[in-house]
Amino acid sequence: MDQLRDFGIEPRTVGGPYGKNIDRLVADILATNSPFVICDYRLQPKNLASFNGSRVIQALRATNKPAMLMTMFQSNNRLELREARADIPLVVGRGEFDVEMLAAYAEICTRELSGDPVDERRAHRTLIEIKDIRNSGGDSELDVVIPNWRPDQSIILPTQCVANGLIARVEPGDFLLGDVNVGANNEDDLFFRNVDEIVKAAEIADL
């Protein structure tokens, strides 16, 4: 807030509390008529809402409102963000936020809503290699490598990003096929859509 005011920008805020009522929060945001929205990821500490800011960005996207998410990028929210990242045009760490970049932030979000995403947000159909499948707290996690992104770096792919029924049919060494923004600069910017095909390891070997 202070950074914005230092540049002569007076933010329009919403107060809450909203509890579980995301529709009311979104309505209040839209009522401010702000051209661009900055939303914190963690809304619970100040009792603003019981849900995370990623859900707010997704709801605003459905109204065609440009919005970015600000977060501390703590380890316990990285996977939650990855599940929603396809619907969030821009995530900026709180320590990296630069008010002088505000116009650029807004342009990134506006372009995506207009169907012309920046190169780093363009999805390409690509292979996703499964290195390991493990259970964490009762849920499965996939340790994967994206050869067309960084073939020497593995990341965790939440099963929520994979089409229903596929996990039970794959094993380490197999590949999934999905839409991934392989132009992403780092793993926190990666998103996954339409991960809905299996390519068995033997099929790759035969190519």
Query: Domains of the chain (ranges plus CATH)?
Result: 2-117 (3.40.50.2300), 121-205 (2.40.50)
pTM for the complete prediction?
0.88
pLDDT, tens digit, for every residue of 169-206? 999 999 999 999 999 999 999 999 999 999 987 777 65
The pLDDT of residue 18 is 94
The pLDDT of residue 94 is 85
- 67-71 and 175-180 beta bridge pairing: unpaired
Question: DSSP strand E in the chain: where?
Answer: 37-40, 67-71, 91-93, 124-136, 139-145, 154-158, 175-180, 192-199
Residue with tokens 């596929």: 166
pLDDT, tens digit, for every residue of 119-177? 999 999 999 999 999 876 667 789 999 999 999 999 999 889 999 999 989 999 999 99
User: 17 preceded by cis ω (within 30°)?
Assistant: yes
The pLDDT of residue 56 is 96
Tell me which DSSP letter residue 77 carries.
H
pLDDT, tens digit, for every residue of 72-123? 765 567 888 999 999 999 999 888 888 889 999 999 999 999 999 999 999 9
Q: How far apart are CA 44 and CA 109, in angstroms?
A: 25
